[in-house]
Amino acid sequence: MPLRTRFMIYVTALLGGLVVLVLFLVEHREVRAIFEAQKDRGILTAEYIAQFNQYLFIIGDSEGVKEDLEKRIDKNLIYVIFYDQNLKPFAANEFIKNYYSIYADSKLDPEAKKGDYFLEIKNIAVEEKLGRYLRIMEIEVPIYVEGSPTKFGSTKIGLSLEEMRAEELKTRLILILIGCSGLLIGVGGAALMARRITKPLDKLVDGTVKISKGDFSQEIDIDSQDEIGELAQSFNKMSQQLQLTKKRMEVANRRLIQAEKLASIGRISASIAHEIRNPLTSVKLNIQKVMESEGLDDIDKEHLDISQEGIGHIENFIKELLNFTRVSELHLNYFSVEQIVDESIKMIRNTLKLKDVELTIEVQERLPQVLVDGDKIRQVLLNILHNACEAVDKGGKITIALSLLKGRRGQKVRILISDNGPGIPKKDKENIFEPFYTTKSTGIGLGLANARKIIVQHKGSIHTVENEGSGACFDLLIPCEEEK
């Protein structure tokens, strides 16, 4: 059963019980008060009638008393009976004489003092056949005459309780109405409260279910300052931690796969190199010998040249492969980045000239020295510049921009190398750093893989960014110490 329904059932039951209890107590007090008021009124009425007829009663004028009594009878005062000293009826209204048991007996104690009274509630059948009864409050009070030490007689009246009953009914109805409204307001308030409590809980449950399905990007927007708010904050922290851990695990996983891949490539390339190198050297030597021999025509020489070129390619491939898979230690030293860039450009100068490429260097500020393996960083820059040279058309442009990046985790030197070639298609962007990924017919696909390996060894990063123009743009970040 949902929490909200259970809460509502408990609150309604509790409120209902409380309302019934309060109503019962209040009703009891009210009914009691109405009864007391009726009783006081009855005693007063009986005493007043006795007082009023006292003279006629003393002189024994029963007709005179009766006449007065008949005048007083109405829908509330049903009967009045005067009893003499011997407890015998002296005078009464005509109607009550039909009810002999009421008319004949005086119930008051013969020793009753002034202020004493007798009270009884009874039903009298008004229309017996129809089952109509009148509820009566019967009150009898003593009559004392001045100077007389003993009771002179008594007056008994019968008051209809119909009015009192109507009043009781009205009071009960009002109380029930108040109770129902109270209950309704209470239940309404409880429903609102239940909604306020369970709505954030629903959000929490929703978030937990999503997390259990592996979606850690859950953020619960509850900013209340109570326990639920605290729970939501802890929940958000937990999902952030989970997200972070998931990302770290993904990175670690990727690194593991990469490391395993490299290890396999290393093993394969070592065995290839071992199997190919020796026969290749003898093939190369034999070709050279044949080339040196006399009597070769130009066509034969040309064929042998092509073979030698092919062997050169294979040798180069083996060299690159071994270079890539070899895990060599870094020989760290302090270098100026500008200097490494200049040296790299010098090494590629001929290629740039051949293609008439315009190379620009932008240095935004004075850069601190970096602790790196100079040869390796040069190799990285050369690989990227070679690619750029290959990408641009004749008369193309390459730009190298150097700047300093200050962040929370220390500062880094940024090297942005962009060209105005065709750029890298979106589908290739994810793969270009993978070993042996190439789109060139003569390429090996190790240039960028090697570059990334070296940069990662330096705890830096390399990736492509959007170029303002059309071509490719590589972003290299190398950490450097802050100058003191």
The residues binding ligand ATP (CB under 6 A) are 383, 387-388, 391, 419, 421, 424, 428, 432, 437-440, 443-449, 472
Distance CA 288, CA 294 (A): 12
Closer Cβ to Mg ion, 421 or 447, answer by number:
447
Which of ligand ATP, Mg ion, none lies near 138, with the C-beta cut-off 5 to 8 A by kind? none
Binding-residue pattern over the window 394 to 413 for Mg ion, x denoting contact by CB under 5 A: --------------------
Amino acid identity of residue 471, one-letter, is: G
Residue 307 interacts with which of Mg ion, ligand ATP, none, CB < 5 to 8 Å by class: none
Q: Please, which residue, 79 or 433, has the CB nearer to ligand ATP?
A: 433
Q: Which is closer to ligand ATP, CB of 124 or CB of 432?
A: 432
Q: How far is the CB of 435 from ligand ATP (least distance, A)?
A: 8
7 binds, among ligand ATP, Mg ion, none (CB under 5 to 8 A by kind): none
CB of 250 to Mg ion, least distance (A): 28
Q: Are 3 and 198 in contact (CB under 8 A)?
A: yes
Contact of residue 435 among Mg ion, ligand ATP, none (CB under 5-8 Å per partner type): none
Indicate the helix (H) or strand (E) that contains 377.
helix 374-391
* Minimal distance, residue 252 CB to ligand ATP, in Å: 24
DSSP of 280-312: HHHHHHHHHHHHHSS---HHHHHHHHHHHHHHH
* Angstrom distance (rounded) from CA 309 to CA 76: 137
Q: How far is the CB of 479 from ligand ATP (least distance, A)?
A: 24
> Stretches 99-107, 267-275, 308-316, 440-448: which one binds Mg ion (CB under 5 A)?
440-448
The pair of three-digit structure tokens given for residue 477, joined into one six-digit string = 């970040």
Would you count residue 387 as binding Mg ion (CB under 5 A)? yes
Residue 373: name its binding partner from Mg ion, ligand ATP, none (Cβ under 5 to 8 Å by kind).
none
Which of Mg ion, ligand ATP, none does residue 56 bind to, with CB < 5 to 8 Å depending on kind? none
480 binds, among Mg ion, ligand ATP, none (CB under 5 to 8 A by kind): none
Query: From the list 207, 396, 447, 471, which residue makes contact with Mg ion (rule: CB under 5 A)?
Result: 447
444 is in the binding site of which of ligand ATP, Mg ion, none (Cβ under 5 to 8 A by kind)? ligand ATP
CB of 258 to ligand ATP, least distance (A): 15
Closer by beta carbon to Mg ion, 200 or else 447? 447
Number of residue whose CB is nearest ligand ATP = 447
| Shortest distance in whole angstroms from residue 473 CB to ligand ATP | 8
Q: Could you give the residue ranges of the DSSP H alpha helices within 399-440?
A: 426-429
Residues in a beta bridge with 121: 137
273 burial level (CB within 10 Å; 0-12, 13-18, 19+): middle
Residue 88 binds which of Mg ion, ligand ATP, none (CB < 5-8 A, kind-dependent): none
Nearest residue (CB) to ligand ATP, 250 versus 358: 358
DSSP output for 324-341:
HH--PPP--EEE-HHHHH
Q: Which is nearer to ligand ATP, 199 or 319 (CB)?
A: 319
Contact 155, 77 (CB under 8 A): no
Here the tokens at position 422 are: 């065709």
Q: Collapsing DSSP states into helix, strand and coil, what is residue 248?
A: helix
The residue to which tokens 């309780």 are assigned = 161
Scored b (16 or more CB within 10 A) or e, 429-464 reads eeebbebebbeeeeebbbbbbbbbbbbeebebebeb
Q: Which is nearer to ligand ATP, 81 or 448 (CB)?
A: 448
The bridge status of strand 118-127 relative to strand 132-143 is antiparallel
159 binds, among Mg ion, ligand ATP, none (CB under 5 to 8 A by kind): none
Q: How far is the CB of 321 from Mg ion (least distance, A)?
A: 14
From its phi and psi, is residue 323 left (phi > 0), alpha (psi between -120 and 50) or beta? alpha
- For the sheet containing 118-127, what is the strand order? 89-92, 77-83, 153-160, 132-143, 118-127
Nearest partner of 19 among 132, 181, 227, judged by Cα: 181
Residues 378, 385: Cα–Cα separation, whole Å: 10
- As measured in angstroms, the least distance from the Cβ of 278 to ligand ATP is 25
Q: Kindly state the smallest distance separating residue 430's Cβ from ligand ATP, in Å.
A: 11
3-state secondary structure of 395: coil
Helix (H, G, I), strand (E, B) or coil at 466: coil
State in angstroms the smallest separation of the CB of 393 from ligand ATP. Answer: 12
Q: Are strands 410-419 and 473-480 parallel, antiparallel or unpaired?
A: antiparallel
Residues of the shown chain interacting with Mg ion in the complex, contacts defined by CB under 5 A: 387, 447
